[in-house]
Structure 1
Amino acid sequence: MKKVLMLGTGGTIASGKSDSGLVPILTSHELVAQVPEISSLCDVDCVQLFSIDSTNITPSHWLQVASAIRENYDRYDGFVIAHGTDTMAYTAAALSYLIQFSPKPIILTGAQKPILFENTDSKTNLADAFRVAVSDLRGVMIVFNGRVILGTRARKTRTTSFQAFSSINYPLLAVVQNGFLMEYIRPMCHEKPTFYDTLNPRVGLMKMIPGADCGLLSYLIAHNDAVIIESYGVGGLPSYQGSGFFDVIRNAIGNGKTIVMTTQVQNEGSNLAVYDVGFHLKNHLQLLEAYDMTTESALAKLMWILGMSTDSKQIRKLFCTPIAHDLLHLKEGPQ
């Protein structure tokens, strides 16, 4: 029988009622005990890394999870991480860069209702997660409401419904129905993983709104080593006289800062070459473009890259290199 390590981090799945709302109270041991069928799937060991609402997750927690998997990698056939849903997609993306080419499954799951509540989705999600953890699938994945989603492609798209996560610009890897795993896509097999242990959290994010002041972008640039701009549609920035965005970005890149353009639109990605408001950004200012990457993956990837290098050419090369299928519609080569 295969061995799986269960890592507890808190989240809704482990929460109970308090006078001020839900708070995590259950350990990973207690979660597994609530789902007896798991013992028929595999041998399980449990470790409680921390117990927090996932709103409080930081990059240091991602490093802690990755470190726990690295320390125990050779002892187990798979890993299940019980995690809050609100930042699960960010954690899945971060782990996809911190643990690359894993020949073993690394599964994140959670719930929209605590495991102690009636009509909870927790027990099904946990059981499904362990089914995938003992399968031949590999790499970082989210298993939720019967869907198996690649870690770099997941996004929380519903706040309360059980179908909380969607796969963005990439097919589902598999589904779990009535206890049976049906695989659609099996990632390429690798002999051993590559682990990383450094992140640079100095990455900011600005969402464009009509009439936005370029001073906000200047502030974010001053306090970060990289900034992601979520623009409209296929991408672009205001170019009317006095808007100031082009000058701010030109100065930032000249001072060694990294600027990435992505889109607020969930599906199909960016293409700065389409409109004049994007063409000059791409061709004259040489900022980076996220294309069909999720914002969660773009952010985590930048933190991973900047943790290793401050060289602009190396940053561009790594950002434009697809990792764990995070980037498909690449319209430029590494420069």
Structure 2
Amino acid sequence: MGGVTFMEGNPDRKFPESRVLIIMTGGTICMQPSADGLVPMSGFLELAMAPRPSFNDSTAPSTNITAYTKEGHKLTLSSLRTPTSAYCKHIRYSILEFSPLLDSSSIASAGWTDIALTIQQNYHLFDGFVILHGTDSLAYTASALSFMLSDLGKPVILTGSQASIFALQSDAVDNLLGSLIIAGTFTIPEVCLFFHHTLFRGNRTTKVSASSFEAFDSPNSDPLAKVTSLGVDVNWGLVRRPTRIKEFNVTKTLDTTHVASLRIFPGIWPQLVDSVLRVPDLRGLVLETFGMGNAPGGVDGHLTKAIKQAVERGIVIVNVSQCTNGFVSPLYAPGTALGRAGVVFGGDLTTEAALTKLSYLLALKDRGTVGLEEVKEMMGRSLRGEMTELRVASFVHPAGVVEEDVVGKITAAESAFTALGYAISNGDLRTVRELLEGDEFNHQLLKKADYAGNTAVHLAAVGPEPKILREVLERGASVHVRNRANNTPLYLAEKMVASGTTPKSEECVGLLKEAGGHLWLENEESMANSRRGSVGGRENGNGVNAKPAEEKLTLEVEAPLLGDPESFLWGGATEKVRQEHDAVWKNAMERVRKEQDSVIERARKELDTKLRQELAMVEAERARLLKIGDTPNVQGGADDIESTTGKIIN
């Protein structure tokens, strides 16, 4: 979990700024009282945020920020800056107001497209995005955007409020400030929803209360983060990360006009369902069924026949549960009958996620990207973390369980990261893979940084082996994280190209750009100055003359020294510190391997027991069905489990 880092030392120290764009689409949060009731207002930045000290650092200089409309028209926006956070960072932000503001109860595909295009036009200018939105359809918009925004590398957080920010008792300030801090501090590359001190994955949410401040919940998935008095606790093990090297992209339209949702109820007429399925141009239906996916069958089976005929006509029907908590499964005969009719089982999808996902996939089909069978297959598996998938056990990296190192002050996680840093600097791909094994679960090493704020991607970007950079990127490391000098991995790689230090630096630059990395305006200016050779001598990552080695090993260090990979890693650390890290590395590597063997063995035993229990349940169900003369494809499931168990045990 992410913890808080408290500020110490020099009060005059300058802290880096991150930039966040707040996109105001409408909603109760930005309304003010009038004679006719609550009405939307403009000038939200000046009227609602500037007077509040938590949103406005009065010592900050006035700065305008460039942004773009969804059509690509350039804007110059006023900005404010938050006071220094507990994470030693300021967040500078501007507000881009939609005109006219959107009514959340009337929003449709066109409104979602406007939001997505606005993010796309400004993606290279900001570290994160906060979207102010009405609560009525907030979960629908969060789900839709999660599918429309492909290969997302930056946080997009939707929020709103149950009461106006101008009301005496309101949740607006907490919701907006929490969203702003998270978007400007943590690289969580997902579409999220923040409400009542809790950050949810957007496509797992649903609105559960019309009036409570705790209005949203994610019943089938734990929150991504919680805000407490101690700071923001991020559950990094749940955060999804990009696992392919591809640039951010937007699907501009969803096909919402040809999908529908139908809630099954006791005694529903088969003719009613058939009439809905015969609506002209209907292409998809979300069927909300009882419990674990059951629907009335009847003696004559008319309802199932109507559904089967619709599937044969090319209509995609998705089965989701009416229950707030739970999932659909072909465990009972009525659910099995729907499966035989061609209905797709939607697992624990919410209705909001099922509708928007189906609309997204049908839009892909219209463009010829996928076929009908692929639409059905993709509806049954997770694309953006919208549904729970059964997985083979993941192993927590030993960095989380190794005891405190004998050196004393260096934690187990730091020692593991030290070993990773050495492997990267030596171009040792095999050791890098060993250290990252299981890191998909808790991302301990991918989010860890050295004393100068450099992550594994920063180190690999200036390392000797591009294959290592590809490895960490494909495991979900972010190309957008900045170090304490406010520099991205791409900027450091470009500096290496300019200096000609590492022969393969150009390949690293290409990989980072392919993964969506981009230079910020200040980085481009610095690179231009470097090319002109305006400063002589060796420079560090911030474009300043290198300082003596003994001055660099402090918390005030601006950036590590560029040059050979090892000097980059340590930034001029003293020989004593380097010897200590050598000792840590040797001890850590031996313990890591021993702990890995132990964890894997325990996990194998636990998984073996679990699979045998599931096999017994399947056999019991098969025996029950044999008694009533109905034998669906249960044996195949049992065979699969036996096969899986055998493979894992062996």
Normalised TM-score (structure 1) = 0.92
Could you list the runs of 5+ residues in structure 2 that have no partner in the other structure? Answer: 1-16, 56-80, 83-89, 392-636, 641-650
Whether the 8 Å CA contact 2:175–2:195 is kept in 1: the answer is yes
Supply the distance in 2 between the matched residues of 1:242 and 1:114 (Cα, whole angstroms): 54
Whether the 8 Å CA contact 1:28–1:82 is kept in 2: the answer is no
Whether the 8 Å CA contact 1:100–1:194 is kept in 2: the answer is yes
Q: In the alignment, which residue of structure 2 is the partner of 1:299?
A: 355
Q: In the alignment, which residue of structure 1 is the partner of 2:288?
A: 230
Q: In the alignment, which residue of structure 1 is the partner of 2:250?
A: 195
Supply the distance in 2 between the matched residues of 1:25 and 1:111 (Cα, whole angstroms): 15
Higher alpha-carbon deviation: 162-171 or 32-41: 32-41
Q: In the alignment, which residue of structure 2 is the partner of 1:278?
A: 335
Higher alpha-carbon deviation: 251-260 or 307-316: 307-316
Change (3 A) 1:35 1:88: farther
**Superposed displacement of residue 189, structure 1:** 4.5
Change (3 A) 1:313 1:28: farther
**Superposed displacement of residue 243, structure 1:** 6.1
Counterparts of residues 14-93 of structure 1 (less than 5 Å):
14-18=30-34, 21-26=37-42, 28-29=44-45, 30-33=47-50, 35-38=52-55, 39-40=81-82, 41-49=90-98, 50-93=100-143
Supply the distance in 2 between the matched residues of 1:319 and 1:34 (Cα, whole angstroms): 47
Q: Does 1:208 align with 2:264?
A: yes
Supply the distance in 1 between the matched residues of 2:48 and 2:272 (Cα, whole angstroms): 44
Counterparts of residues 311-330 of structure 1 (less than 5 Å):
311-329=371-389
**Superposed displacement of residue 215, structure 1:** 2.9
Q: Does 1:2 align with 2:18?
A: yes
Give the aligned residue type for 1:251.
Answer: Q
Supply the distance in 2 between the matched residues of 1:298 and 1:58 (Cα, whole angstroms): 15
Change (3 A) 1:23 1:330: farther
What is the CA deviation profile of residues 91-125 of structure 1, one whole-angstrom value per residue up to 9, with x for unaligned ones? 00000000133111000011011111101110111
- Among 170, 175, 179, which residue is 2:221 paired with? 170
What is the CA deviation profile of residues 49-102 of structure 1, one whole-angstrom value per residue up to 9, with x for unaligned ones? 241331111121111101110111111110000011111011000000001331
Q: In the alignment, which residue of structure 1 is the partner of 2:478?
A: none
Counterparts of residues 118-129 of structure 1 (less than 5 Å):
118-129=168-179
Which protein is richer in helix relative to its size? 2
Counterparts of residues 88-167 of structure 1 (less than 5 Å):
88-134=138-184, 135-167=186-218
Whether the 8 Å CA contact 2:102–2:111 is kept in 1: the answer is no
What is the CA deviation profile of residues 225-268 of structure 1, one whole-angstrom value per residue up to 9, with x for unaligned ones? 10111011001221113562112111111111111111100112
Higher alpha-carbon deviation: 322-331 or 139-148: 322-331
**Superposed displacement of residue 171, structure 1:** 1.0
Whether the 8 Å CA contact 1:12–1:53 is kept in 2: the answer is no
Whether the 8 Å CA contact 1:230–1:261 is kept in 2: the answer is yes
What is the CA deviation profile of residues 102-149 of structure 1, one whole-angstrom value per residue up to 9, with x for unaligned ones? 111000011011111101110111000001111222211011110000
SS in 1 for 2:25: strand
Supply the distance in 2 between the matched residues of 1:35 and 1:53 (Cα, whole angstroms): 27
Change (3 A) 1:137 1:276: same
Change (3 A) 1:248 1:32: farther
**Superposed displacement of residue 220, structure 1:** 2.6
Give the aligned residue type for 1:187.
Answer: R
SS in 2 for 1:22: strand
Supply the distance in 2 between the matched residues of 1:42 and 1:117 (Cα, whole angstroms): 25
Supply the distance in 1 between the matched residues of 2:348 and 2:297 (Cα, whole angstroms): 24
Normalised TM-score (structure 2) = 0.49
Larger Rg: 2
Whether the 8 Å CA contact 1:269–1:292 is kept in 2: the answer is yes
Supply the distance in 1 between the matched residues of 2:387 and 2:207 (Cα, whole angstroms): 19
Higher alpha-carbon deviation: 72-81 or 244-253: 244-253
CA RMSD, aligned part only? Answer: 2.2
What is the CA deviation profile of residues 167-193 of structure 1, one whole-angstrom value per residue up to 9, with x for unaligned ones? 131111111123721111333256642
Counterparts of residues 232-271 of structure 1 (less than 5 Å):
232-241=290-299, 244-271=302-329
Supply the distance in 1 between the matched residues of 2:21 and 2:332 (Cα, whole angstroms): 49
Supply the distance in 2 between the matched residues of 1:214 and 1:24 (Cα, whole angstroms): 45
Once the two structures are aligned, what percentage of the paired residues are identical? 28
Q: In the alignment, which residue of structure 2 is the partner of 1:287?
A: 343
Change (3 A) 1:245 1:20: farther
Could you list the runs of 5+ residues in structure 1 that have no partner in the other structure? Answer: none
